[in-house]
Amino acid sequence: MTRLSASRMHHLPQSVKQSAYDRASCGVGILHLGIGAFHRAHQAVYTDDILAEAGGDWAICGVSLRQRTVQEQLDPQDGLYCVVERDGAGDNCRVIGAVTETIFAPGDPAALVARMADPAIRIVSLTVTEKGYCHDPASGQLKLDDPGIVQDLKAPATPSTAIGYLVAGLAARWRGGIAPFTVMSCDNLPHNGRMLAGLVKAYAQELDPSLSDWIEREGAFPSTMVDRIVPATTDEDRTAIRELLDLEDEAVVVCEPFRQWVIEDRFTMGRPAWETAGAQLVEDVAPFEDMKLRLLNGSHSMLAYLGYLAGYETVAETMANPDFEKLVRRYMDEEATPTLALPGGVDIEGYKDQLIERFRNPALKHRTWQIAMDGSQKLPQRLLSVIRQQLKAGGPFEIAALTVAAWMRYVTGQDERGGAIDVRDPLAGRLASLAAETGSTPTALVGSYLGVEEVFGDDLPNAEAFRTAVEASVSHLYEMGARQTVAKHVAS
C-alpha cells in the first residue's frame, strides 16, 4: 500500500489535522539524538506548533545512534508521520512535519560530527534513555570504563556514544571558531542538564583540558522536564492508522493527550519560542523534575514491577485493581509528596488526581514490561531518592521499599508461576547470576542485590530500617504473591 508522504497530504481525511506551513522554507536548526517514539510525540510536536505559528529555521534533523529503523520509516514518508492522541473519548490524529532530515549515525559517524559542526545547528537535544548517558546511576559520574566510552576515547573522531558525539561536535566547532550549540537533555534524569554537562566535561577533559574549559565557559546545558506517556507503537496501531488514512504510516506514534515541557531558559544561540506552544520556560527546573520523577515515574515503576508480577499486562489493567490504585495514592501522598520542594503555583492535589486519571487511561496499552526495562538505571532517581530523604526525616518509605523488593523479584528473571521474565537491563546478566548464586531466601537475595553499588550507593546497604523493610517485602512477595502483598499493604 502507498505510504504517507508530502504528495499525499491533500488526500488525507478531514479529521486528520495538518499544520499548514512550508516545510521547505524551514532550515534545520535542531539536531536530535535518539529519534524514538517519545521525541516524535513530544518535542517534535511542540516544534511543529511553532513552525506553523512563526516559521523559522528550527526544523529537526533526527538522528538514530543504534538502529536504522526510524530512518527507514521516515525517509520514504518525507519525514512525515502521525501522532495519535488517544483516551477513552477517542482518537485525535495529526500529521507532524517538523522532522525534515534523518541520519543513521553508525552508517557514517564522521558525517554526523560534520553535521553537528554546521553553524546552522544551534541546539542538539537528546532522548537516549537513562543508559545512553554511560554514567553511574547512583553517583551521576561518567563511567570511564564503559566499553563505548573506552572505544570513543581511543577514536574520538568516529564515536558511537551520545557523549562521544556531543564532544566531537563541540570540538569541531571549537577548532572552527564556531559558538557551541546548546545541549538539551530531554531524558528522565534528575538535573539532566547539569548532569550531562558534568559527563561532557569529564569526557572532554580526557581528550584536551582546554576543550573542556571552553565548554565550561561558553556552553549551555539547560535542564528540562519532559512529560507525555508514549507507549511503544504496536502492529495494531499501524493497522488502525492504515484504515484511517488509507495509506501506510510506518512511523505513527500513539500517545495520551496530556503533554508538559518545562525548560530552563539558557541557550547559546537562541531557541524556538516553544512557550507559544505551551512549554514553560523557567529559571529553575529542579522542583518540576523532582515532582515528575518521584510522583509519575516512581509510581510508574511501582505499577510496572508489582503489576507485572501480579500478571497484569498494562498499566491501565493494573490500575483497575482498586488495591493497586490505593497503593499508588498512598505512595504519592504519604511517601513522595513530603520529600518535594513544590514549584510555585502548582496545585499538587490536582496534579496527583490527574496522574491517577492518566494511569487509568483505558485506551492506552502501556505495557508494564516496557516500563520495567532498565530498572537499575531508573530506581535511584525515582524511588531511592524518596527513601533517602524519608530515612533522614524519619518518615515512611514502606511502599517505595516494596517497589524495590518487587524490582528484585522481577530481575531474578522468574515470575510467580515459575515462567521466565524477559529482563531488559544493562545489568540483567549480573543480576541474574547474583540471584542464581545466592538462591532466593529473602535475606540472601536482598543482601546481594543491595551490594550493587551503582544502584544503591554505599549508604543504603547500611541503612538497617531500609534493609529490613525490603527483606520483609521480598518475603511477602515470595510467600503470597504480588496481589496479596498489595492487598495487605493497603489494608494496614
Residues that bind ligand CS2 (CB under 6 A): 188, 227-229, 296-297, 300, 370-371, 378
> d(Cα 280, Cα 283) in Å, to the nearest integer?
10
In the complex, minimum distance from the CB of residue 131 to ligand CS2, in angstroms, rounded to a whole number: 12
Which residue lies nearer to ligand CS2 by CB, 162 or 244? 162
Which residue lies nearer to ligand CS2 by CB, 185 or 188? 188
In the complex, minimum distance from the CB of residue 378 to ligand CS2, in angstroms, rounded to a whole number: 6
Helix H or strand E segment including 166: helix 162-176
Sort strands 224-227 and 99-104 into parallel, antiparallel or unpaired. Answer: unpaired
SS3 469: helix
> d(Cα 194, Cα 171) in Å, to the nearest integer?
19
Grid cell digits, residue 368: 508494564
Rounded (10°) angle between helices 398-411 and 464-491: 100
Grid cell digits, residue 321: 485493581
> d(Cα 325, Cα 356) in Å, to the nearest integer?
8
In the complex, minimum distance from the CB of residue 370 to ligand CS2, in angstroms, rounded to a whole number: 6
In the complex, minimum distance from the CB of residue 229 to ligand CS2, in angstroms, rounded to a whole number: 4
Which residue lies nearer to ligand CS2 by CB, 45 or 215? 45
Which residue lies nearer to ligand CS2 by CB, 288 or 449? 288
Which residue lies nearer to ligand CS2 by CB, 280 or 370? 370
DSSP conformation class of 293? I
SS3 90: strand
In the complex, minimum distance from the CB of residue 125 to ligand CS2, in angstroms, rounded to a whole number: 16
In the complex, minimum distance from the CB of residue 444 to ligand CS2, in angstroms, rounded to a whole number: 29
Helix H or strand E segment including 261: strand 260-264
Which residue lies nearer to ligand CS2 by CB, 121 or 319? 319
Beta strands in 75-181 (DSSP E): 81-87, 90-96, 99-104, 123-126
Grid cell digits, residue 99: 522532522
In the complex, minimum distance from the CB of residue 382 to ligand CS2, in angstroms, rounded to a whole number: 8
The answer to whether the CB of 91 falls within 8 A of the CB of 15 is no
Which residue lies nearer to ligand CS2 by CB, 131 or 228? 228
In the complex, minimum distance from the CB of residue 1 to ligand CS2, in angstroms, rounded to a whole number: 31
Nearest to 193 by CA among 295, 296, 63, 282: 282
Which residue lies nearer to ligand CS2 by CB, 52 or 286? 286
In the complex, minimum distance from the CB of residue 298 to ligand CS2, in angstroms, rounded to a whole number: 9
Which residue lies nearer to ligand CS2 by CB, 329 or 467? 329
In the complex, minimum distance from the CB of residue 340 to ligand CS2, in angstroms, rounded to a whole number: 17
Helix H or strand E segment including 289: helix 286-291
Which residue lies nearer to ligand CS2 by CB, 113 or 296? 296
> d(Cα 227, Cα 149) in Å, to the nearest integer?
29
List for the chain the helix, strand, coil content (%; round to 5).
55, 15, 30
SS3 479: helix
Burial class of residue 39 (count of CB atoms within 10 Å of its CB; 0-12, 13-18, 19+): buried
The residue with its CB nearest to ligand CS2 is: 300
> d(Cα 456, Cα 380) in Å, to the nearest integer?
7
